[in-house]
Amino acid sequence: MMTNKQPLTQRLSWLVPTIYIVFLLLPIYWLVNMSFKETSEILSTFSLWPQNPTLRNYTVIFTDPSWYSGYINSITYVVLNTLISVTVALPAAYAFSRYRFLGDKHLFFWLLTNRMAPPAVFALPFFQLYSAFGLIDTHIAVAIAHCLFNVPLAVWILEGFMSGVPKEIDETAYIDGYSFPRFFVKIFVPLIASGIGVAAFFCFMFSWVELLIARTLTTTDAKPIAATMTRTVSASGLDWGVLAAAGVLTIIPGALVIYFVRNYIAKGFALGRV
């Protein structure tokens, strides 16, 4: 009798994640469904799948530079930001995980407070600051601005991973005659490779999804795709089909990134601190 009870609840346990995933996918499915319909069909008929599937909406996006340049802009500043964040965070995380120094705890806490700063607070001063440096509407401006929340996060995650590496490894390398930079690049970085992957994943994610700051700092040349969407919608009188197609296309880079890091996500969460 006792053995009978346990398997029943366990056999049904797959239902919970399944229902949850269906709930997650329904709205996304609806968007995909709409992206293959003509706007007139969206407005006139209600169907669970496209009656006359069309690629028109995607053609519009891939042939109009004002649309597809948005993707290039977004990806450019997101990649730039990820590179900058991880590069500067690596030595800092090493310092926090290995050494005690004057004001280290305060500095660490101060860094984390930046993760708590509402982007809305920074929108206006950012605009003025980057105008003063003539950086408005450049990719680097958005990349640096996003460092506000990504660098603290990267330091936090990497510090967690680095603390998991025994200090004896550092000492052995020094005894073997490694200089610090060589040790760091040749031995230490490969040891925390999965940590770097996780940190990069989170930097990519938070930079990719952020819109308020990215939109404030750009006008045309570096405008992110997400902002292009809001503008075009208001201008063209709601072309729902193109809007849906653009939305679907913004989901794809994220989905690709998740697919590549899928085996590290759970591990990274557990070892690191996010």
Partner 1 sequence: MEKTWNNKAWFMVLPVLVLVAFSAVIPLMTVVNYSVQDTFGNNEFFWAGTDWFMDVLESDRFWDALTRNLIFSAIILAIEIPLGIVIALNMPKKGIGVPICLVLMALPLLIPWNVVGTIWQVFGRVDIGLLGRTLAALGINYNYVQNPIDAWVTLIVMDVWHWTSLVVLLCYAGLVSIPDAYYQAAKIDGASRWSVFRYIQLPKMKRVLLIAFLLRFMDSFMIYTEPFVVTGGGPGNSTTFLSIDLVKMAIGQFDLGPAAALSIIYFLIILLLSWIFYTVMTTSDAQG
* Position among 75, 79, 129, 187 found at the interface with partner 1 (CB under 8 A): 129
Contact flag: residue 120 with partner 1 (CB under 8 A): yes
Contact flag: residue 145 with partner 1 (CB under 8 A): yes
N residues, the chain: 274
Q: How far is the CB of 4 from partner 1 (least distance, A)?
A: 14
Sign of the alpha-carbon torsion through 123, 124, 130, 135: positive
Contact flag: residue 259 with partner 1 (CB under 8 A): yes
Q: Which residues, numbered 83-112, are part of the site for partner 1 (CB under 8 A)? A: 84, 88-89, 91-92, 94-102, 104, 107, 111
Q: How far is the CB of 85 from partner 1 (least distance, A)?
A: 9
Q: How far is CA 116 from CA 112, 121, 153, 168, in A?
A: 7, 11, 11, 35
Q: Decide: 173 and 187 in contact? Cβ < 8 Å.
A: yes
Q: How far is the CB of 111 from partner 1 (least distance, A)?
A: 6
DSSP string, 14-78: THHHHHHHHHHHHHHHHHHHHHTS-HHHHHH---SS-SS---HHHHHHHH-HHHHHHHHHHHHHH
Q: What is the DSSP letter of 210?
A: -
Report helix angle 139-163 to 104-115, nearest 10. 130
Contact flag: residue 192 with partner 1 (CB under 8 A): no
Contact flag: residue 226 with partner 1 (CB under 8 A): yes
Contact flag: residue 187 with partner 1 (CB under 8 A): no
* Position among 1, 14, 175, 234 found at the interface with partner 1 (CB under 8 A): 14
Outline where 116-164 has alpha helix (H): 119-132, 139-163
Contact flag: residue 199 with partner 1 (CB under 8 A): no
Span near partner 1 by CB under 8 A; candidates 51-59, 60-68, 118-126, 189-197: 118-126
Q: How far is the CB of 207 from partner 1 (least distance, A)?
A: 10
Contact flag: residue 17 with partner 1 (CB under 8 A): yes
As a whole number of angstroms, the distance between CA 15 and CA 12 comes to 6
What would the x/- binding string for partner 1 be over residues 26 to 65, using CB under 8 A?
Answer: xxx-xx--x-------xx--x-x-----------------
b/e burial code for range 189-224 (CB count within 10 A of at least 16 → b):
eeebebbbbbbbbbbbbbbbebbebbbbbbeeebbb
Contact flag: residue 80 with partner 1 (CB under 8 A): no
* Binding-residue total with partner 1 (CB under 8 A): 99
Q: How far is the CB of 236 from partner 1 (least distance, A)?
A: 14
Contact flag: residue 16 with partner 1 (CB under 8 A): yes
Q: Decide: 93 and 154 in contact? Cβ < 8 Å.
A: yes
